[in-house]
Copies of this chain bind each other. A is one copy, B any other.
Amino acid sequence: MFKRFAGAIAARSMLLERCLPLKDTEDLDTSSAVDRVSAAEIRSPANLPAFDRSAMDGFAVRSDDTRGARPHAPRFIQDFIPLRTGMAVPRGYDAVVMLEDAMVRGQVLEVKAEVHPHKNVARTGEDVMEGDTIFPEGHRLRPPDLALLSALGIGKVKVYAKPSAVIIPTGGELVDAGSRNLMPGEAYEINGLMARLYAEKWGAYACKTEIVPDDEELIREAIRSNLDADMIIIIGGTSVGEKDYAPRILSEMGELYVHGVRLQPGKPTALGDVAGRPVVCLPGYPVAALSNLYLFVRPAIKRMAHLDDKPPRVQARLARKMPSKPGYLSLVRVAFRDDGQVEPIMVSGAGILSSVARADGFVVVPEELEGFEEGDMVEVVLYE
């Protein structure tokens, strides 16, 4: 029935080949660039510190003058300058005696510890030298990174544009969540919300169109009018029934290179391209849609955004056997128990969204396995 059935990992590779890292860039204020990715190597325009700086509260001295000083054999020196941490060490002085090792006695300083040259001095450029590469291209800018740029007086930073994702929910039975009470046979549209919130969390600008009814021409029009997005996500109508327009439309408007994936849950997925834009069609069952979001949409957005695509995950021991469908990549929902072990939430039916509500994350079972045994250590991907 599925004419372009593919393995899950192969399907993802095909999608990622078409979701290239974006080339567009923008210049942002350094203080607004958190979690954005540097679009060029960043070199330092200055030395940090910009001058020899005292690393301690104490006294700038000439280290020569302190030679031999010890607690019971202090040296008394006349040429010294009191300094606070961070102050410039004036020219002619090459070390700082700590407050606790010295005492001012009228016009002279009693020094009880010898200091070698540069002792307690943060030297010009010791953190960063002018011209140094601070960050390579492709570096995600974390708060301390932005602090470093600010310290160097770098007020603007060139980052890659965020990818944009347009989400098109389809289905004649759907009603905007909360807009009115449901009539028999209707359901609230919820996958679009889930997809939008995840796409934003993963680093995209995301928006959701109006619900499109099961009408081939209206779905085409929704795709056509959103081809300025970096990615289009269609929800619903991906199976092989009479009204499952999405795959047919893809093959007519552009290319349909995957229809049906050996993925459990989440088999009725379609992947295509229209006018060079990647289009991901997610099944309407929410748990299946969620599998597809994690397996396809997450790495696609991360790749376009130049971000690392490893989700948060932890190791845990399986409290119970975890069977899976052989030949399929399985994403099995799990919950942590109080003892730190995880147990699979075995629920048949990709429509049971409450099974995700009870889950802390999922375990990926490779296609070639038939599951994991009780006691196995597994990697749990935590739902973000």
Contacts and interface: CB of A to CB of B under 8 A. Distances in A.
Contact of A184 (B51, B145, B146, B353): B51
Interface in A66-104: 84-88, 99-100
Interface in A134-189: 134-135, 142-148, 150-151, 153, 155, 171, 173, 177-178, 181-182, 184-185, 187-188
Nearest to A32: B197
A193 B148 contact: no
A9 interface: no
B201 A34 contact: yes
A163 B34 CA distance: 20
Interface centre among A99, A147, A193 (most CB of B within 10 A): A147
B315 A144 contact: no
Contacts of A191: 147
A239 B98 CA distance: 13
Given A84-B241, A127-B351, A383 B144 contact: yes
Given A57-B241, A122-B351, A146 B357 contact: no
Interface string A330-358: 00000000000000000001011110110
Given A122-B351, A127-B352, A1 B100 contact: yes
A6 interface: no
Interface string A14-56: 0000000000000000110010000000000000111100010
Contacts of A30: 177-178
A284 B86 contact: yes
Given A144-B356, A145-B357, A84 B198 contact: no
A354 B187 CA distance: 54
Interface residues on A, range: 35 or more
Nearest to A312: B312
Contact of A122 (B146, B178, B243, B349): B349
A299 interface: no
B147 A86 contact: no
Contact of A182 (B50, B185, B356): B50
Contacts of A313: 314
B188 A354 contact: no
Given A30-B178, A127-B354, A354-B134, A349 B55 contact: yes
Nearest to A174: B86
Nearest to A191: B147
B190 A353 contact: no
A135 B354 CA distance: 10
A126 interface: yes
A85 B151 contact: no
B144 A194 contact: yes
A242 interface: yes
A254 B57 CA distance: 27
Nearest to A83: B185
B86 A127 contact: no
B184 A88 contact: yes
A384 interface: yes
A188 B353 contact: no
A128 interface: yes
Contacts of A290: 144
A260 interface: no
A66 to B, nearest CB: 20
A247 interface: no
A266 interface: no
B357 A171 contact: no
A274 B97 CA distance: 35
Given A86-B185, A134-B354, A142-B384, 18 more contacts: A30-B177, A31-B177, A31-B193, A34-B197, A48-B353, A48-B354, A55-B349, A57-B241, A86-B171, A122-B351, A126-B352, A144-B353, A146-B193, A146-B197, A147-B193, A148-B353, A148-B356, A151-B177
